[in-house]
Amino acid sequence: MSKFKKIETSIEGVYIVEPTVFGDNRGYFMETYSKEEFKQIGLNYNYVQDNQSKSKKGVLRGLHFQTKNTQAKLIRVIKGEVFDVAVDLRHGSKTYGKWEGVILSEENKKMFVIPKGFAHGFLVLSDIAEFTYKCDDFYNAEAEGGLMWNDPDIAIKWPMGELKKEEIITSPKDANWPTLKELNKELFKE
């Protein structure tokens, strides 16, 4: 029996992973990744880079992707809580332009598996969140791309809570990504 439970989502290839947590009065222990254990549940990735970020409440990072050196990701939160999102950009996919989201937190210890061909972003729901993820290819700044986080055609249902839209904190770059329609016109000259 694997130490990890793979849960299917509404988009093929996107999964939520729940680790087995061993806890007692001292605290807990869990494996956060095992190449062999992941392979047993059908997640055969060769991760080559780990990233970590810390953000405050209301920070929205994304929606990011790479046009070359595309990356599959294994995402988790080690402090706080975020709403993590993947948008399918795989041309020919029956779920192209659709999104899947999950709350990741230090409490629920869930992980999110996003394959290559997706835009990715997250919104911090707690006062502070520390976020870590593995990638199966290296970051390529020249191939960086993004989508507007509030694209009405994608219509992500961000759990805003008490946050107002104008309280969302993005980088200048993230505030100016194109919509999916604009991106398609640029990439495919429709």
What are the residue numbers of the active site? 64, 133
27: which 2 tokens?
A: 């605290």
Coil/strand/helix, residue 80: coil
DSSP 110-159: -EEEE-SSEEEEEEE-SSEEEEEEEESS---GGGEEE--TT-TTT-----
Coil/strand/helix, residue 185: helix
Instruction: Give backbone dihedrals phi and psi of 4, rounded to 5 degrees, phi first.
Output: -130, 140
Query: How many other CB atoms sit within 10 Å of the CB of residue 165?
Result: 8
Which residue bears the tokens 């929606």? Answer: 63
Is residue 80 within 8 Å of 142, Cβ to Cβ?
A: no
- In this structure, what is the dihedral angle of CA atoms 117, 55, 47, 86, given to the nearest 10 degrees? -20
